[in-house]
């Protein structure tokens, strides 16, 4: 066996045998499981679709290390809430004890999904992201309030319920152009750029007429349609990519046709992402940052960030590093939880 080095990690392979970066990482994981004595665990991934890239990669990474990894449809779980004997039921049976659960919960099922995660916490299962942190992050207004209180850089933001207050809200965030966001929107849906104060007032009034809750934010023009997605795992930024909006578009989401490339973070950007994750109480998250003239500002903290874009842009085994975190923090066969519920 020969020892080789890549930009990411050393690995052992037979001479002249070529491996992809993912195969290299999986090979090391299997070797460590055997030689270092990492205890294998039973791990559940809560996901509505087992064919999604993120779900598949997490399952592959866990199984490569010798863990038993089960994909469980969140909405097919149901709960037996019995004093001193909480259970999660699935397909007519009690689920076995899991050492860890990885929540991959879409925004449309936040309420039920976090209830399922909370039930696992009550059973002594280590949740990669706790239910209370997921709920906190899904409330955009609450997230901004918490980040603001801790001094995290943010775009100027306004929130109101009465149409009479709209002109003053627009004025307070610096005037047009402004970004108007639905609180319930995801992946760039429900986000509008209003070029004039009059246009902003019309859009806000229309949303309010539909009983929708909206945020009004200053437009960070100097970002030039780009943002930075920092992937945080266990108080470390383990990968980062710069996303650029397509021509004629200001939203940089990959789902909206944006492109992504590897980016080197400044010390301030890295620390901002770490601090934002800590404020939200998330162990694994994507922190979206804009580069403004006043320094980095946080746009969103995502508790269920996709793996495909970040792994392809950075060539990092993000799924494997999530399992590094689980192996370090989960306690196999635990019967108590630190989950706040």
pLDDT one digit per residue (tens) for the chain, 341 residues: 343 333 343 333 343 445 554 455 455 554 444 434 568 999 999 999 999 999 999 999 999 999 999 999 999 999 999 888 899 999 999 999 999 999 999 999 999 999 999 999 999 999 999 999 999 999 999 999 999 999 999 999 999 999 899 999 999 999 999 999 998 756 557 889 999 999 999 999 999 998 989 999 999 998 888 999 999 999 999 999 999 876 655 555 555 557 889 999 999 999 999 999 999 999 999 999 999 999 999 999 999 999 999 999 999 999 999 999 999 999 886 655 444 55
Integer Cα distance of 8 and 323 in angstroms: 16
**Binding residue numbers for Mg(2+):** 288, 300, 302
**DSSP classification of residue 200:** H
- My answer on whether 199 and 238 are in the same domain is no
Integer Cα distance of 249 and 243 in angstroms: 12
| CA 163 from centroid of its chain's CA atoms | 33
Integer Cα distance of 170 and 177 in angstroms: 9
C-alpha Rg value of the chain to the nearest Å: 22
- My answer on whether 48 and 86 are in the same domain is yes
* Number of domains present in the structure of the chain: 3
- My answer on whether 125 and 197 are in the same domain is no
Q: Rounded to two decimals, what is the model's pTM?
A: 0.83
**Which residues lie below 8 Å from residue 10, measured CB to CB, with a gap of 6+?**
3, 4
Integer Cα distance of 263 and 139 in angstroms: 28
Integer Cα distance of 182 and 108 in angstroms: 14
For residue 24, the model assigns a pLDDT of 53
Integer Cα distance of 298 and 296 in angstroms: 7
**Binding residue numbers for ATP:** 181, 218-219, 227, 251-253
Bond from prior residue into 177 cis (ω within 30 degrees of 0) = yes
Q: Which two tokens stand for residue 33?
A: 């499981």
**Binding residue numbers:** 181, 218-219, 227, 251-253, 288, 300, 302
Integer Cα distance of 201 and 186 in angstroms: 22
For residue 71, the model assigns a pLDDT of 98
**Binding residue numbers for Mn(2+):** 288, 300, 302
- My answer on whether 231 and 323 are in the same domain is yes
For residue 72, the model assigns a pLDDT of 98
Integer Cα distance of 207 and 222 in angstroms: 27
Expressed as residue numbers, the domain containing 204 is 156-219
Domain assignment of residue 16, yes or no: no
- My answer on whether 229 and 324 are in the same domain is yes
User: Which among 168, 199, 219 is the end of a domain?
Assistant: 219
- My answer on whether 64 and 113 are in the same domain is yes
Q: How far is CA 333 from CA 46, 100, 126, 221, 277, in A?
A: 19, 10, 10, 52, 28
Helices (DSSP H) in 36-150: which residue ranges? 53-64, 110-122, 131-138, 140-149
- My answer on whether 204 and 193 are in the same domain is yes
For residue 38, the model assigns a pLDDT of 64
CATH of the domain at 268: 3.30.470.20
CB 273 within 8 A of CB 289: yes
CATH of the domain at 210: 3.30.1490.20
Nearest C-alpha neighbor of 309 from the set 263, 269, 278, 266:
263
Q: Is 334 exposed, middle or buried (0-12, 13-18, 19+ CB in 10 A)?
A: middle
User: Which among 184, 219, 254 is the end of a domain?
Assistant: 219
């Amino acid at each position: 066996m020969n020892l080789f080095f890549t930009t990411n990690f050393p690995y052992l392979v037979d001479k002249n045998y070529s491996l992809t970066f993912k195969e290299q990482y999986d090979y090391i994981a299997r070797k460590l499981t055997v030689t270092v004595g990492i205890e294998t665990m039973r791990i559940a991934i809560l996901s509505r679709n087992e064919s999604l890239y993120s779900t598949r990669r997490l399952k592959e990474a866990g199984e490569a290390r010798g863990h038993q990894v089960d994909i469980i449809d969140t909405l097919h779980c149901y709960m037996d809430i019995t004093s001193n004997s909480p259970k999660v039921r699935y397909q007519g049976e009690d689920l076995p004890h899991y050492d860890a659960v990885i929540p991959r919960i879409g925004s449309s099922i936040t309420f039920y999904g976090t209830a399922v995660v909370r039930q696992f916490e009550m059973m002594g299962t280590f949740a990669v992201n706790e239910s209370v942190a997921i709920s906190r992050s899904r409330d955009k207004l609450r997230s901004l309030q918490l980040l603001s209180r801790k001094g995290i850089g943010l775009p100027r933001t306004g929130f109101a319920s009465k149409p009479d207050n709209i002109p003053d809200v627009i004025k307070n965030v610096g005037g047009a152009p402004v970004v108007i966001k639905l609180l319930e929107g995801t992946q760039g849906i429900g986000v509008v750029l209003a070029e004039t104060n009059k246009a902003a007032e019309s859009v806000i009034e229309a949303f309010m007429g539909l009983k929708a809750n909206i945020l009004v934010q200053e437009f960070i023009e100097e970002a030039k349609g780009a943002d930075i997605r920092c992937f945080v795992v266990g108080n470390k930024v383990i990968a980062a990519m710069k996303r650029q909006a397509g021509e004629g578009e200001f939203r940089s989401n990959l789902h909206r046709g944006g492109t992504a490339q590897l980016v080197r973070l400044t010390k301030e950007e890295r620390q901002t992402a770490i601090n934002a994750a800590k404020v939200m109480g998330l162990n694994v998250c994507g922190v979206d940052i804009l580069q403004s003239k006043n320094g980095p500002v946080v746009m969103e903290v995502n508790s269920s960030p996709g793996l495909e874009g970040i792994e392809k842009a950075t060539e990092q085994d993000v799924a494997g590093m999530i399992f590094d975190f689980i192996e370090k923090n989960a306690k196999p066969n635990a019967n108590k939880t630190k989950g706040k519920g």
